[in-house]
Amino acid sequence: MTSQLRFLMCAPDHYDVDYVINPWMEGNIHKSSRDRAVEQWQNLHHILKDHAIVDLVNPHKGVPDMVFTANAGLVLGDTVVLSRFFHKERQGEEPYFKEWFEQKGYTVHELPKDLPFEGAGDALLDREGRWLWAGYGFRSELDSHPYIAKWLDIEVVSLRLMDERFYHLDTCFCPLSGGYLLYYPPAFDSYSNRVIEMRVAPEKRIAIEEADAVNFACNAVNIDNRVVMNKASEGLKKRLADAGFEIIETQLTEFLKAGGAAKCLTLRVTEPVQVDRHATVSVESRTIRLEGHLLDSGLINRALDLVVENGGSFQVLNFNLGEQKQSTSMAEVKVSAPSHDVMEAILSTLIDLGAVNLPQDERDAKLEDVTQNGVAPDDFYVSTIYPTEVRVNGEWVKVEYQRMDGAIAITQTPKGLVARCKLLRDLEVGDRVVVDVIGIRTIRKTESREQRNTQEFSFMSAGVSSERRVELVVEQVAWELRQIRDRGGKVVVTAGPVVIHTGGGEHLAHLVRQGYVQALLGGNAIAVHDIEQSMMGTSLGVDMKRGVAVRGGHRHHLKVINTIRRCGSIAKAVEQGIVTGGVLYECVRHDIPFALAGSIRDDGPLPDTQMDLIKAQEEYAQLLEGADMVLMLSSMLHSIGVGNMTPAGVKMVCVDINPAVVTKLSDRGSVESVGVVTDVGLFLSLLVQQLDKLTSPYHFAKTV
């Protein structure tokens, strides 16, 4: 068997580092010694000749990397898939390798132009011949994998490379005989690591450390139980010995300067075909279309980045650039993913950006029956805040009750088909739920550069505003509040107890009194401390005027709760003249509905606090309906809850001293949300001042 084994090598007559196409070559141009390179190459040649036949392909001037024959192509049986080099520096090698294979009688397959694949550098057979491991991410394109599977009639397992130092699969991955695998896990994305772990049992995985990886320990030639490589640490030698392998070290430092070592310098040209193995690929492709101000808004970059970040790859098939400033652009992009799961993940993010399938690929949404109340089918599509449509019986149906993190249920009603977002708990047997990512589209407003610049919230949409921008934000929010109030719109406030502790209570009360707030959402605590302040002058036992803790003050809030419980409700306490000021007082006086959602830490609670969380969520959802703006004041949980219930298009202002909260909430990918990192008491006081300015007769309103 071993005597049949053949390798292809190419003498380093013209080898040098002439250009930089990988990180190893950087700083090494013309730094390798020809003599040493020749000597090292010959040593490797000798070692291999002891165990196999070594064929030679003639070296050529002008293609110094031709020594790395692993990149000639990929051989299985008498078939070869030729390499298509990613870098033009190496493309000159292609005809020489092609000629060699043709002369030797191989059936030669060539990939379409512009579909890079770098041969056995990026494709390694499992040593039992069960499947082909194929890398992508730097040199080879994922879309080459289906061709390889078809031509070589083998299962292709795609692995995504993440570390540019390990730009070819064979620099960080080496299948060994007996089902062992020598590899460097950090070179792969997490999905690929999972795929590897699913195929190779733990006791067969020899994961190496970075120190060995950078010595190209994975770039090894395996012949039966021998492993030929540049260098290995003592630890690695021992581990390989324990697994029954003998390491043959042979220095290849001159080739490391070009980013290659033992394996790169060789190509196994005898790879037996396993007759019982056949082609399968899990690579999937879809073509999507994006329309809008793709360049202006950065949408196209974001979309393509998302594809790659999520483990896929893309090809832009068409790009029509809108000619006028106001005209929109259109892109058709072929998206590929190593598996259906990854494709779903990618497509759902693209759908969020407004991507649609090409009309010719347009299909109805896939529906599955709910078979257990409160439980969705496994693969259900998770709804987002964006207005969504689903295609049922050839027609696009608008989804009602749009919100995040629900399922989309389709029901037949006397009025026709209805699609709506439903929470898992609300699903019922008889509902049909949208699964997969087919036949779903979201409608995104396309904003041109001009529109974005003139939108009221645009200047702050770039992320979280810093302290010095607080005043600017306050001005804008005041302006918005004023407009919404004047046109009879709806502002919902969610507030945490910090509003009261920081002295913002009186300002929020003022906003309610002035008609700027149409609903209030919060927990037990905001109400308790608000009333505590009104009844006892303290908030959580701290005197709000003097800012010092009052003796026995920690009991104040319990006394307050007790009093309100005696009255039966906050409204009754107001009626009875027990509560005479504050946020909740103003709500009661002005008929502003509020919902208080309970939590595990609540004392009391107040009679108004809804301790049934499902009911509390429903109350929140009801009060949020039709909102134009949500002001989120220092309450992480209530604000996140509200954010999930609120569809895109509603302006959201999130104020919190903790930047993490602000980022989380204002990062909805739409211009309508803005975050302000600041003290909420200060924010409210500035806001009230600003509103008063707007109403003062001396102020020249912006509309003038």
553 binds ligand ARG (CB under 6 A): no
> Taking CA 448 as the corner, what is the angle to CA 442 and CA 451, rounded to the nearest 5 degrees?
105
Q: Which residues pair with 316 in a beta bridge?
A: 333
CB under 8 A, 24+ apart: contacts of 488-491: 489/518, 489/628, 489/629, 490/518, 490/519, 490/626, 490/627, 490/628, 490/629, 491/516, 491/517, 491/518, 491/519, 491/627, 491/628, 491/629, 491/630, 491/631
Catalytic residue numbers read 168, 264
How far is 179 from 196, CA to CA, in rounded Å?
A: 12
Nearer to ligand ARG, 170 or 271 (CB): 170
How far is 169 from 142, CA to CA, in rounded Å?
A: 13
Nearer to ligand ARG, 265 or 684 (CB): 265
217 binds ligand ARG (CB under 6 A): no
How far is 607 from 531, CA to CA, in rounded Å?
A: 13
Name the DSSP letter for residue 646. P
CB of 59 to ligand ARG, least distance (A): 14
82 binds ligand ARG (CB under 6 A): no
Nearer to ligand ARG, 259 or 647 (CB): 259
CB of 281 to ligand ARG, least distance (A): 22
How far is 233 from 354, CA to CA, in rounded Å?
A: 51
CB of 195 to ligand ARG, least distance (A): 21
* Sheet strands (E) in 648-695: 651-656, 673-677
Nearer to ligand ARG, 21 or 423 (CB): 21
CB of 264 to ligand ARG, least distance (A): 3
Q: CA of 640: how far to CAs of 197, 236, 514, 667, in Å?
A: 36, 49, 27, 11
Amino acid, res. 295: L
Nearer to ligand ARG, 74 or 652 (CB): 74
CB of 260 to ligand ARG, least distance (A): 3
Name the DSSP letter for residue 394. T
Size, binding site for ligand ARG by CB under 6 A: 15
Selected binder of ligand ARG within 12, 146, 260, 496 (CB under 6 A): 260
Is there a contact between 629 and 484 (Cβ–Cβ < 8 Å)? yes
Binding to ligand ARG, residues 50-79 (CB under 6 A): 65, 68, 70-71
What is the layout of strands, in order, in the sheet containing 388-392? 366-369, 432-435, 407-413, 416-422, 395-400, 388-392, 440-442
Helices (H), ranges, 246-369: 253-256, 299-309, 340-352
Nearer to ligand ARG, 167 or 516 (CB): 167
Nearer to ligand ARG, 125 or 632 (CB): 125
Selected binder of ligand ARG within 8, 16, 22, 679 (CB under 6 A): 22
Selected binder of ligand ARG within 171, 230, 388, 442 (CB under 6 A): 171
Nearer to ligand ARG, 93 or 506 (CB): 93
Tell the residue number behind the tokens 């104020």, with chain if given. 655
90 binds ligand ARG (CB under 6 A): yes
- Strand bridging mode 519-523 / 491-495: parallel
Q: Mask: binding to ligand ARG, 115-134, rule CB under 6 A, as x and -?
A: ------x-------------
Binding to ligand ARG, residues 429-468 (CB under 6 A): none
Which phi and psi (to 5°) does residue 542 adopt? Answer: -100, 130
CB of 207 to ligand ARG, least distance (A): 20
259 binds ligand ARG (CB under 6 A): yes
138 binds ligand ARG (CB under 6 A): no
Selected binder of ligand ARG within 170, 344, 431, 532 (CB under 6 A): 170
168 binds ligand ARG (CB under 6 A): yes
Q: Mask: binding to ligand ARG, 336-365, rule CB under 6 A, as x and -?
A: ------------------------------
21 binds ligand ARG (CB under 6 A): yes
Exposed e or buried b for every residue in 538-565, given b needs 16+ CB within 10 A?
bbbbbebeeeeebeebeebbeebbeebe
CB of 254 to ligand ARG, least distance (A): 12
264 binds ligand ARG (CB under 6 A): yes
Q: At what angle do helices 524-536 and 505-513 cross, to 10 degrees?
A: 100
> Which chain residues interact with ligand ARG by CB under 6 A?
21-22, 65, 68, 70-71, 90, 121, 168, 170-171, 258-260, 264
